Each structure stands twice: as C-alpha cells, then as structure tokens.
Amino acid sequence: MFERFKSKAEEARAEIFRFPDTPAAVEFLTAWLRQEGASATPGSAALFAEAPYLTGPVRECLTRIPGVRFDVSREQAAQAAFGVSQMDWALADTGTLVQDATAVAQRLVSTLPPVHIALVPTAGLLPDLPALLSRVDPRQSGYLAFITGPSRTADIERVLTIGVHGPKRLIALFVDDLKARA
C-alpha cells in the first residue's frame, strides 16, 4: 500500500520518505531543515504544530535546532519558511494525506508557509476514500483536511504551476512506529 501511495503522491509532486521509527525521522528532519536554511533569522523559522510525538527527548532535540518554534500563531505562520504537522491518515489510491485539522494551528502551518512537512503514521495508510469515510465522523472532526501534493494552478493558459496560495512543496515523512488515530 505504501508503494502505491508513494507513486500516486509523487505523481502529484509530493516528496515522500519513510522511516522505521520517530528518532530516525526526527534526525532526518533536523538535518534537512538545517540544509534547507531553517534559522533564527526572521522569515526562516520552522513552525511545529503540536502533536503527540513532540514530547521528551524528541522535543528537547528539536528545541536545540535554530529556527524551530512551537508557538504557532497567525503572525508566526505568515512569517515561517517551514510548517510541520502530523497527519492522521493517508489514502493510497490518490496519494492523499488526511488530518483532523479542527485545531487552527494545524491549518496555519500547512497553509501559510511555503514548505509543509507532514509526519504520517504508516499505520494510518488506508486504501481509498470510502475506507476513510467509514472511519471518520465529521461531527467529531469539524475540519477534515485532505492534501494531495503542493498547491497548484493551471488557470493561465492551462500551464501547470506549483505553489499559488498554499505550500510550494509538500514533504511527507512516513514513520512506522508513529501511532495512528483510532
């Protein structure tokens, strides 16, 4: 299912990685953020929306990285270079990430910064949309967000252009030991 997801998501121009555990994913992420220029200078921050994995040593490790912040606000999100959030599910047949985005921080970090990095529990992989719809109740999740690749348009002469109002890059890190939502 992961391979199918990967090929579909890559068709939609997402960048897909997979790690056996959270420490491996976080190690990759910190190196990647450094390399991509995350720093304490204004406009270069990496803004993390709260998620269960952000505790203990993982959080401590991240805190030491320059530019990493957890205080998500409208102003911070509008300034940040990177937004990081945890998604709940992934749909293999369309390469789609799905999240209960009722908490506004989850939406801010995935809409405003030019790069969105999504941690995804591999266990949250589902075959398709009907499988998801039978698992979620929208009355419990006020804002269900489906994301398939970066923001795109073809409104000028039908030429596909990436990154209109939303992120210009979408990077998904699948983590095998991350706990999926029930």
Partner 1 sequence: MDTSFKTSIQDALHNANLTGALGKFSEAYKVNRARAYEGIDFEALRGTIAERKSAAATHLRELAGRFAQNAEARGAKVFLATSPEQARAYILDVARRSGVKTVVKSKSMASEEIHLNAALEADGVTVSETDLGEWIIQLAGQRPSHMVMPAIHMTKEEVSDLFSKAVEERLSADIPRLVSVARDTLRPRFLEADMGISGANIAVAETGSIVLVTNEGNARLVTTLPKIHVALVGIEKLVEEFKDVAPILQALPKSATAQALTSYVSVITGPVPNTDGTQKELHIVLMDNRRSEMAADPQFKQALQCIRCASCLNVCPIFRLVGGHVFGKVYTGGIGTILTAWFDALKASEDIQGLCIQCGACKEVCPGKIDIPELIMELRRRLVKEEGLPFMQKAIFAVVNRRRLFHSMLRAASVADKPFASGRFIRHLPMFLAGLTDGRSLPAIATVPFRDRFKRIVQPQLKEKAAFFAGCLIDFAYPEMGEALVRILNKAGIEVVFPDAQTCCGAPARYSGAYEVAAQNAIDNIKALSLDEVTYVISACPTCTAALAKEFQATFESLGMTEWIAQARALAAKTVDFATLVAKLVDEGRLSFEAGQALGSVTYHDSCHLKRTLHAEQAPRSLLRRAGYEVREMFECDTCCGMGGSYSLKLPEIAAPMLQRKLQNITRTGAATVAMDCPGCVMQIRGGFDQADAPVRVRHTLELLDDALGSNSRS
In the complex, the residues that contact partner 1 under the rule CB under 8 A are 8, 11-12, 73-74, 78, 93-96, 102-104, 107-108, 110-112, 129-130, 133-134, 137-139, 141-159, 161, 163-167
- Provide the minimum distance between the beta carbon of 26 and partner 1 in the complex, in angstroms, as a whole number: 27
**Residues 144, 129 contacting (CB under 8 angstroms):** no
Burial of 88 (0-12, 13-18, 19+ CB in 10 A): buried
- Provide the minimum distance between the beta carbon of 16 and partner 1 in the complex, in angstroms, as a whole number: 15
For partner 1, give the closer residue by CB, 60 or 155. Answer: 155
For partner 1, give the closer residue by CB, 25 or 92. Answer: 92
For partner 1, give the closer residue by CB, 40 or 133. Answer: 133
Mention every residue, 6+ apart, whose C-beta is less than 8 A from residue 134. Answer: none
CA 63/CA 94 separation, integer angstroms: 35
